[in-house]
Amino acid sequence: MTYRIAVARIQQETNALSRVLTTDADFRRTHFYEGEDLLGRIGPDGQEVEGFLKNAELSGFARALRKYGAGRVELIPLFSAWAISAGPVSTSTFRAYTDRLIDELRAAQPLHALCLAQHGSMNVEDDPDPEGTLLRRLKSEFPDLRIATTLDLHGMLTPAMVENADILCGYRTNPHRDHAKTGFKAGRLLLGLLDGDVRPTTAWRSLPLVLGGGITIDFLPPVFHLFAWMSRKERDPRVLSISLFMVHPFNAHPRLGWAVHVVTNGNDKLANALADELAELAWGVRHKQPPVFVGATEAIDRARSARLRRMVGTVVMSDASDVVGAGASGENTRLIQELLGHGRGLISYVPMRDAVVVEALWSRRVGETVHATVGGKLDPQWNEPLDVHGKILSQTGTEAFGRIVVLDLGYVKLCVTEAAPLVMQPSFYRNLGLSLWDADIAVCKSFFPFLLYFAPYARKNIFVKTRGATDFDALSTLAFQDPVWPLSQVDDWREIDGLRRNA
């Protein structure tokens, strides 16, 4: 029998503290492919996510279907839409994508299954659980369609997601580096379900925990033993998949919290026992909170004192209050201001989002001295404008960041981008003609991935708190339906878990 299996993606991580709405233009600027173009990109020689990942979830899906369904699977490419983390997705944008997905699924009938890549922490203006809403609608419209979905490790698991996905798998790494592997697992299990070899039996738990686990890097304490436990348990042939969701803490869902998800092959008792055990292990690391990040002045002092390290590399500073990868706007000026004053003598590369300034300076000559007021335009509740004076060092057009104007402010080289400056790879600076070996300080807008990408250059990493939409202490401004750790004293997770899963 030949299975007709569709593949699609609607993916974005929302920061509810940001007022910058995500629209169709943001998806199309970041990643939007469809039809035969998408099919080629997820094939063996394709580049699924231009400038970021060769292989991601849809490539993994496709590889599993080719390997285990060779000659008996017809892959139907629909569309893939992926936007950079930011504020909520506009209602009109989400409705347009969900309607399009429904329409294309109808047009592609007969279909046996859908492989759908999601994030798990998307919010829409009028819906804190749009991904659950989408899955529920898909099952309502196509009750016989088998659905496999993948979620980010920082996804917010909800009853609607669990109840309406036949196969659900989450990333197992942080920084994330197993996108394709996660898609491969989901595709393999989906094919087993269609063949009748797999009878997915699910158990899950929802914990009243929004911050814990320290730095939450999968190969380091205190969460390393959780991921090691998951790997050991998955060696049991009865266990199909185990996922731990450590949640995006800036999500607007009223029952925000960590979750565990276990799938066995028809063994309900085992699934529930493993879910309870992993939930208890995860609850056990709640006291390990994220590190307290230093202020800009202290961060610069630390960089200055790391003299030998700067001679053989650079100090990488994460502007932890303005992490574009976690939904901030990328227009925070506080670190720039401190570098211009307290950081004198330290050559610093800094990204900054301001499309208005880029437009104004694009027609000016390289080498020309200019004045500009940067920042504070998109999300002024967090970001203040700053007046700067300097020479135009370069003007570069890019696909990922739009147009970029580099301003030489003396020791500070300010890279003003048209689009969100998701700076987590050193290639951002290299492509602008800025050598990392010449920099004392290189600023990024990332919590985790930069640790991998900048490793060849970084001799010291410093997280800097400058006040913004990705500050952990700003979580107190979100509305929670239940008491959650660490904002409230919660001694046991079980009662609240029961309320959440039966909601």
Do 223 and 301 lie in one domain? The reply is no
End-to-end alpha-carbon separation of the chain, Å?
39
Both 214 and 325 in a single domain? no
pLDDT category at 295 given cuts 50, 70, 90 is very high
The rounded percent of the chain whose pLDDT value lies above 70 is 100
Return the amino acid letter for 435. Answer: S
Tell me, yes or no, whether 476 lies in a domain: no
- List phi, psi (to 5°) of 221: -65, 155
Q: Same structural domain for residues 277 and 358?
A: no
- In-domain check, residue 486: no
Strands 348-353, 167-170: pairing kind: unpaired
Confidence of residue 294 (pLDDT cuts 50, 70, 90): very high
My answer on whether 331 and 412 are in the same domain is: yes
pLDDT in tens, 188-225: 999 999 999 999 999 999 999 999 999 999 999 999 99
Once rounded to an integer, what is the mean pLDDT over residues 9-17? 97
Q: What is the reported pLDDT for 1?
A: 84
Asked, for residue 138, whether it belongs to a domain, the answer is: yes
Query: Could you give the 3-state DSSP secondary structure of residue 147?
Result: strand
Does residue 59 surpass a pLDDT of 90?
yes
Domain co-membership, 137 together with 103: yes
Q: Which of 262, 283, 304 is the last residue of a domain?
A: 283
Instruction: Identify the pLDDT of residue 440.
Output: 98
Same domain membership, residue 307 and residue 262? no
> By three-state DSSP, how is residue 43 classified?
coil
Query: Does 303 share its domain with 240?
Result: no
3-state secondary structure (DSSP) of residue 3: strand
Report CA 484 to chain centroid distance, whole Å.
23
Say if 482 falls within a structural domain: no
Show which of 252, 283, 314 is a domain's final residue.
283
Q: Is residue 231 part of a domain?
A: yes
User: Could you tell me if residue 217 is inside a domain?
Assistant: yes
Tell me, rounded to whole angstroms, the distance of Cα 414 from its chain centroid: 25
Q: Please, which pLDDT band fits residue 53 given cuts at 50, 70 and 90? A: confident
pLDDT at position 92, please?
98
Question: Which sign, positive or negative, has the C-alpha torsion 384, 385, 386, 391?
Answer: positive
Amino acid identity at 298? E
149 and 91 both lie in a single domain: yes
Q: Specify the pLDDT at position 392.
A: 98
pLDDT score recorded for residue 215: 93
**Predicted local distance difference test score (pLDDT) of residue 50:** 84
| Domain limit, last residue, from 223, 251, 283 | 283
- Domain CATH number, residue 173: 3.40.50.2300
Each residue of 345-390: pLDDT tens digit? 999 999 999 999 999 999 999 999 999 999 999 999 999 999 999 9
CA distance 105 to 107: 5
Rounded to whole angstroms, the Cα distance separating 20 from 420 reads 11
Asked, for residue 490, whether it belongs to a domain, the answer is no
Q: Kindly state whether residues 235 and 384 are assigned to the same domain.
A: no
**pLDDT at residue 181 in the model:** 98
| Per-residue model confidence as pLDDT tens digits over 424-469 | 999 999 999 999 999 999 999 999 889 999 999 999 999 999 999 9
Residue 503 in this model has a pLDDT that exceeds 70: no
Task: Give the count of beta carbons closer than 10 Å to the beta carbon of residue 26.
Answer: 23
Query: Is residue 498 in a domain?
Result: no
Same domain flag for 93 and 156: yes
Q: Encode pLDDT of 312-354 as tens digits.
A: 999 999 999 999 999 999 999 999 999 999 999 999 999 999 9
How high is the pLDDT of residue 145? 98
User: What is the pLDDT at residue 196?
Assistant: 96
Distance of CA 164 to the CA centre of its chain: 23
Please tell me whether residues 192 and 325 are part of one structural domain: no
Domain that holds residue 369: 294-469
Mean pLDDT of the chain: 96
Task: Please tell me the total count of domains within the chain.
Answer: 2
Lowest mean pLDDT among 28-37, 292-301, 380-389, 494-503: 494-503
pLDDT at 157: 98
Q: Are 190 and 262 contained in the same domain?
A: yes
Global pTM value: 0.94
Helix-helix angle 334-341:296-305, to 10 degrees: 50
